[in-house]
Structure 1
Amino acid sequence: MRPGDTLSSISGRYDVRVSDLREWNSIPKGEPLRVDGLLRLTAPDEPLPDWRTRVSPVTAAEANGDPAKECPVPATDLRKIWVRYLGFDRRAHDGYVIMHHTLAEPIQRAFGRLYRWRFPIMAMPPMVVEDRSVMTLGYECRFVAGTTRWSQHSYGLAIDVNPRQNPMLRGDYLDPPNSRTWLARERYWPGMMHEDGAVPAFTAEGFYWGGRWKTLLDYMHFSTNDR
């Protein structure tokens, strides 16, 4: 969905009935479309299932497979937050992010919004992919790139959403390196996050967005302390 799109304008553009668009996308009458969301233009094989979530403990091996790293938070402070999400295949999947236990409910509410808005997530654990640059991830025991300072991910206080579609740019350094196409932020391609679209799913829960930074731009990044 792009700014200015309505069910009526899409109905005329693609010669489909507004009532069918509502039914195929489970959009209640009177609910506006959300920028950054996906909209089906054909009938699905089956309705999108209800959203669901749960929280489970994190083992020491999941939190830190290498004890020599001496990660800054113990596994007991972390939680595996399972959420249902809409994939790029327009189907529902169940995945998780690991975050600090104090953020379990805010993260659940944020992903509940994304699912209701039909915002697509490319991949989340436990999905196995060859390229980790497509993964939406929270906790990772690692330093800030090029430093010996712990990343906010190492505390479970940050999450990166769809890195490929929402890259980080610092000077000439681009991460992921194969994401230059998505630096054209005036585009509204699937999985991109915009201020007027999917970003408020997290900022409404007290997260800060790296897409607002000045010294670098980190469109994938949300943290609780603006770092």
Structure 2
Amino acid sequence: MRRSLCAFVCALLLAPATPADAAPPAAAYVIRPGDTLTSISRRYDVRVTDLRRWNSLPRGEPLRVDGLLRLTAPEQPLPEWSTRVLTVTAAEANGDPAKECPVPATDLRKIWVRYLGFDGNAHDGYVIMHYTLAEGVQRAFGRLYEWRFPIMAMQPMVVEDKSVLTSGYECRFVAGTTRWSQHSYGLAIDINPRQNPMIRGDYLDPPNSRTWLAREHYWPGMMHEDGAVPAFTAEGFYWGGKWKTLLDYMHFSTNDR
């Protein structure tokens, strides 16, 4: 039976870092620096050949830090990655014309991508970005899928808490200012906000994400410079996790703002 999202995530977060014979069965493992298939197979008492088959890993393919490695057989292999780009209507872009957003809908694109969910299965979702970034964003998400990096939620998934959504374009000001955010131009994207929060002094966004400020950990959906971050920086994006006056681990933009 397919695990629920909660059950799968709980298994990932609560599985203790102890030898396999002392730990309860784990559903998956987040790859850390220095890991190899051999070391993981010994730790969890599974065969390397099974790990390769369950995760569709070609022989010789290196493990990618931040990737989610299955430790049990899936119901079915992950399907091939897919993507498509569509135009955006004015209603999808702005909703409220009174906002006078800085980019017309004709300059935006809805980028559909296949992604690995926290439940270990493939899902299809989209982000809206400026048309000039469509191909680079597609390549970035293609890398994340290949690296088995999990995305918690993307539209059109319906969620009560929007702080879990990976998203791009949003017509809004920078918090606490009347200056347009880079998201308002379709030039920025936030990946897994809950697991990659923004912190500025005492201000934390999302406010329920303090646990994930412990960046020395490698938990599902967290992005590290030696892991999933290069999926976007290789396409010319700058990462907010390297800023000085604040740290925005979810944020990637084309102009480092």
TM tier relative to shorter chain: over 0.9
Equivalent pairs, count:
227
Q: 2:237 pairs with 197, 204, 207, which one?
A: 207
Q: 3-state DSSP class of the match of 1:93?
A: strand
**Distance across 1 between alignment mates of 2:181 and 2:104:** 15
**Distance across 1 between alignment mates of 2:47 and 2:226:** 26
Q: 3-state DSSP class of the match of 1:76?
A: helix
Shift of 1:27: 0.5
Shift of 1:116: 0.2
- The answer as to 2:154 corresponding to 1:129 is no
Q: 2:70 pairs with 40, 44, 61, which one?
A: 40
**Distance across 2 between alignment mates of 1:193 and 1:60:** 32
Q: 1:59 pairs with 89, 114, 129, which one?
A: 89
Shift of 1:82: 0.2
TM-score (norm 1): 1.00
TM-score (norm 2): 0.88
1:1-227 alignment, distance < 5 Å: 1-227=31-257
What is the identity, as a one-letter code, of the residue corresponding to 2:108? L
Structure 1 regions of 5+ residues with no counterpart?
none
Shift of 1:29: 0.4
1:55-102 superposed Cα distances (whole Å, 9 cap, x missing partner)? 001000000011110000000000000000000000000000000000
Q: 3-state DSSP class of the match of 2:232?
A: helix
**Distance across 2 between alignment mates of 1:204 and 1:37:** 17
Shift of 1:7: 0.1
1:7-40 superposed Cα distances (whole Å, 9 cap, x missing partner)? 0000100111101100000000001100000000
Shift of 1:191: 0.1
**Distance across 1 between alignment mates of 2:46 and 2:211:** 31
Q: Moved runs in structure 1, 4+ residues, more than 2 A? A: none
Structure 2 regions of 5+ residues with no counterpart?
1-30
**Which residue of structure 1 lines up, in the alignment, with residue 17 of structure 2?**
none
Q: 3-state DSSP class of the match of 2:91?
A: helix
**Distance across 1 between alignment mates of 2:44 and 2:209:** 30
1:129-165 superposed Cα distances (whole Å, 9 cap, x missing partner)? 0000000000000000000000000000000000000
Q: Cα RMSD between the aligned structures?
A: 0.3
